[in-house]
Structure 1
Amino acid sequence: MEKPAVLVLKRAVELDVASRFQESLICYQEGIDLLLQALKATKDETKKAHYREKISSYMSRAEDIKKNLEKEREDGKYHKQIKIEENTKGFSYEKLFYDYLNETVTEVWIEDPYIRQVHQLYNFLRFCEMLIKGPCKVKIIHLLTSYDEGSGKNQQISALQEIEQSLKDYGVILDVSYSSSIHDREIRFNNGWMIKIGRGLDFYKKPQGRFCLGYCDFDLRPCHETTVDVFHAKHTKKT
């Protein structure tokens, strides 16, 4: 486990130096875990002492980063950036949004010009399902999107009306508005968290077939390259 640990921890230090602290913390934690496994596996006392020293050093740095991130979150200065690379997996809506959903979330705003085509409408439906299942107590969802410019306009309106009716069964109001000039993609929760995704909700690749892994579970669906930025409303206010 020593070689994999060295590679992961080297990446952690690189990210740390680049001030990409959230990502570096994840790498530090993974690298420390690999070093602990190496420590348990070796009988060489010299190596054991070396591993313990390294583990202690990396744990100290990881703890400092964790405390700083928590303070930034409390102060509203938190900014997390996730770079989703081409064809990577493991980025379901639950994974991206769950940390920012709690019982104080009752109202959600989605601005996305591309909730038009069938797969995009299903993406929006999946997002709504996540909100219903999550710890939040959402009561109203606002969607600002644009009309389908082709023959799919009636299908788009009909699908959103169906989602609206379905949400009513859960006591949730869907408020849909249309704009021909919208181009930004943004999701906001009334607890102050704001998430900007370069591709909006539509960053998943088309599955190879209806009976392929990833068709239902978005954690198994390959992604297009995009960037996710997470802010708190306090951080975006002018001082």
Structure 2
Amino acid sequence: MTQNHVTGMETSAISVLKRAVELDHGSRFQESLVCYQEGIQLLIDVLKALKDDSKKLHYRDKIKGYMDRAEQIKVHVNQLKEEGKYHEQIRIAENSTGYSYEVLFKPYISDGLTEVWVEDPYIRHIHQLYNFLRFCEMLLKASCGVKNIHLLTSQEEDSSSQQAGALVELRQSLQAHGVCLELKYSSSIHDREIRFDNGWIIKIGRGLDYFKKPKGRFSIGYCDYDLRECQETSVDIFHTKHTKTL
């Protein structure tokens, strides 16, 4: 391993752990735990490549400190989950970036996740259908084994709309990847909620449609949602031992 590579890993570790501390101080514990774990692993990789004994000692102390804090957070989060008191809120500011579905949902996706319920009245227009497609793609790429996705939404009244055809096409495409998409429609649906069968519940004020319209088809953020500007909204995260179906 070259010195440049080691330096690069050190820089990455510092950046990730700095973010972990910021999230920790903001009481966004589940997110901070993910960052602590990633940063600790990067520091361990750096430690393996170091030859300087004083630097090794320095990083061992750092790793121990971060591991102790991560364990404290894990105990705290588990206690809140056991008591049914876990609640975390993320405020997405107007015009902010860096809130792709991968970023927002990753801390709550675990290996045991197999079933997802999406309740969102606005999966109707073309950009909203693309949002739901991206959400499904995110689940397929995540380190879990999702087998069932349930969508409850409102139905577009215009019989010539693209909604029905798009969702049927998506259902067929997901089936080819071993995932079953169940579609249900409601004329009275209002709330927006996403439930994972590992107990996490994510409520987004604007549902999946919290991104601003890109300035053009060849403007930055059109393809990469991390670079897409957001509309102001709040995200509330809860945990329950009993995930009810929609």
In the superposition, the TM-score normalised over structure 1's length comes to 0.71
Matched, 1:116 2:119: no
What are structure 1's unaligned runs of at least 5 residues?
1-11, 30-58
- The answer on whether the counterparts of 2:199 and 2:242 sit within 8 Å (CA) in structure 1 is no
Which of the numbers 214, 233, 238 marks the counterpart of 1:231? 238
Task: Summarize the Cα distance change of 1:219–1:63 in structure 2 as closer, same or farther, 3 Å threshold.
Answer: same
Matched residue, 1:194: 201
Residue 165, structure 1, aligned to residue 202, structure 2: no
CA distance in 1, matches of 2:83, 2:70: 18
Work out the CA distance in 2 between the residues paired with 1:134 and 1:63. Answer: 22
Deviations 1:95-136 (A, max 9, x none): 110111112111100000000000000000000000101011
Task: Extract unaligned runs of 5+ from structure 2.
Answer: 1-21, 36-65
Residues 1:211 and 2:223 are matched in the alignment: no
Q: Distance in 2 between matches of 1:105 and 1:207?
A: 32
Q: Distance in 2 between matches of 1:176 and 1:212?
A: 33
State yes or no: 1:21 paired with 2:22.
no
Normalising by structure 2, what TM-score?
0.69
Q: Deviations over 1:158-213 (max 9, x none)?
A: 00001001101101010000000000000001111100000000000000011111
Greater gyration radius: 1
User: What is the number of equivalent residue pairs in this alignment?
Assistant: 194
Identity over aligned pairs, percent: 59
Q: Contact 2:98–2:225 at 8 Å: present in 1 too? A: yes
- Is 1:144 aligned to residue 152 of structure 2? yes
Letter in 2 for 1:177: K
In the other structure, the counterpart of 1:131 is 139
Cα deviation for residue 21 of structure 1 reads: 2.2
Cα distance in 1 for partners of 2:215, 2:141 equals 28
Cα 1:105–1:74 change in 2 (3 A) is same
